[in-house]
């Protein structure tokens, strides 16, 4: 980046921002800086901050200076302020018959041999859709059962040949029987003209990533598909450096209108939930569905399932199922589990998340503090993401904000900050209406006086 562009980004951040009073927040945490000349800092959010936050977008988490003025800050995913190359891992794959271009793949018949750990040893597949025998085997069944981290994208290699521009749909499954669509972006492109080549080998998933045992890629046009020769999983760079943390919730058994039983739970903060697991005593194997909502006035939204959770005692620790990856990040307060059969005991819902980081610019007067919990104040927008990119371009790809840590929490306004402020009254409008009503009353009084006196008004 040119120095002028970097200076512009810093200038934009240096513009004065609206500051919320310190007493508009429930709690504060003093920030201890790892160095005095860091300029930009990052601090990992802890469970106490998430428990205090009220906004589902974490807008009531901010950083203030010694005078109580807000400084430029924003909340990032765990790996975003870091500059680490993503990890790649080769995945086994098997060709499948393509689906017709008139619809999505369905009616699959799979004959497979599966190892005890879920890995596929052999696959024979065909589609029962009409005309499937005439279609080439250009769909792919990808075995991701050995991957324990979310997959951010798939990198595909294909045999050289004619020009390629092919779109693919992606589906995921944990049992090869039940499939769900996966939000993905990107298409496979291999074009060449005048000695220049354009290639796109990456199919990206959302920011959370995808974690399922098996993935299925189906070309929208089977006749224009690539001849795939290798598949790699691209794992998040921070997957190993930001281990999952878990909230374990005890629920209440409720009976639904259809006569089935569910278990409802309340999460104690705005945690960025990415995975779910179910803990039960003893041996068990059940299919679960997980829903969530933010308040009792809303309807339930599906988050995961059906998936099988099991535990089987054995030598050592025995065997148990892996946690279930959600389709996205959820911060809802209320959660519900539904099982496919009778539940032996009270299930404990385990919700996994990776702590996010707050990045802020050391502007104003130190010391700095992180504040959270407000129904009145919201963090102002700031171009922190552009600043991080600009500094990384200027100082090198390995640059990262300096570290800061949270000190002991102290109360500010406490519970009073969680009460919404009374709406401001528009006194000018009230005064105008009062004048109009008074004028109308005067006119009515004058007319009544004329009627009582029996005199007609003169023109």
Could you tell me the pTM of the whole model?
Answer: 0.65
User: What percent of the chain has a predicted confidence (pLDDT) above 90?
Assistant: 33
- Reading the block at residue 344, the tokens are 């032996």
Whether 4 shows a pLDDT value over 60: the answer reads no
Whether 123 shows a pLDDT value over 90: the answer reads no
**pLDDT range class, residue 366, cuts 50, 70, 90:** very high
The 10s digit of each residue's pLDDT in 398-438 is 788 999 999 999 999 888 888 886 666 566 777 777 778 88
């Amino acid at each position: 980046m040119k120095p002028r562009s970097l200076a512009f980004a810093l200038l934009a951040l240096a513009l004065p921002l609206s500051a919320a009073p310190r007493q508009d927040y429930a709690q504060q945490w003093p920030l201890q800086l790892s160095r005095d000349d860091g300029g930009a800092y990052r601090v990992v959010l802890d469970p106490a901050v998430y428990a205090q936050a009220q906004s589902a977008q974490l807008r009531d988490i901010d950083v203030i200076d010694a005078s109580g003025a807000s400084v430029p800050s924003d909340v990032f995913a765990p790996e975003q302020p870091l500059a680490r190359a993503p990890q790649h891992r080769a995945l086994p794959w098997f060709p499948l018959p393509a689906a017709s271009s008139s619809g999505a793949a369905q009616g699959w018949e799979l004959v497979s041999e599966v190892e005890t750990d879920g890995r596929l040893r052999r696959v024979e597949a065909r589609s029962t859709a009409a005309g499937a025998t005439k279609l080439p085997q250009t769909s792919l069944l990808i075995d991701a059962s050995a991957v324990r981290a979310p997959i951010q994208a798939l990198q595909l290699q294909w045999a050289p040949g004619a020009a390629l521009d092919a779109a693919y749909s992606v589906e995921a499954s944990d049992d090869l029987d039940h499939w769900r669509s996966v939000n993905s972006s990107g298409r496979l492109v291999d074009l060449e003209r005048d000695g220049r080549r354009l290639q796109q080998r990456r199919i990206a998933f959302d920011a959370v990533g995808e974690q399922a045992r098996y993935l299925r890629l189906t070309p929208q046009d089977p006749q224009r598909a690539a001849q795939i020769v290798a598949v790699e999983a691209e794992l998040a760079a921070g997957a190993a450096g930001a281990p999952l943390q878990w909230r374990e919730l005890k629920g209440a058994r409720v009976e639904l209108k259809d006569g089935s039983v569910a278990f409802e739970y309340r999460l104690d903060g705005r945690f960025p939930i990415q995975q779910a697991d179910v803990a039960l005593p003893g041996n068990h194997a059940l299919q679960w569905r997980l829903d969530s909502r933010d308040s009792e006035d809303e309807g339930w939204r599906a988050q995961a399932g059906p998936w099988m959770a099991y535990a089987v005692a054995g030598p050592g620790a025995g065997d148990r199922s892996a946690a279930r990856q959600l389709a996205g990040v959820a911060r809802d307060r209320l959660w519900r589990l539904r099982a496919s059969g009778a539940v032996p005991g009270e299930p404990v819902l385990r919700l996994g998340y990776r702590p996010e980081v707050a990045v802020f610019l050391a502007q104003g007067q130190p010391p700095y503090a992180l504040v959270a919990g407000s129904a009145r104040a919201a963090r102002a927008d700031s171009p922190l993401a552009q600043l991080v990119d600009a500094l990384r371009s200027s100082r090198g790809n390995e640059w990262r904000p300096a570290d800061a840590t949270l000190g002991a929490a102290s109360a500010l306004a406490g519970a009073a900050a969680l009460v919404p402020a009374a709406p401001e009254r528009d006194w000018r409008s009230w005064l105008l209406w009062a004048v109009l009503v008074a004028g109308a009353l005067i006119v009515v009084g004058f007319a009544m006086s004329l009627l009582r006196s029996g005199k007609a008004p003169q023109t």
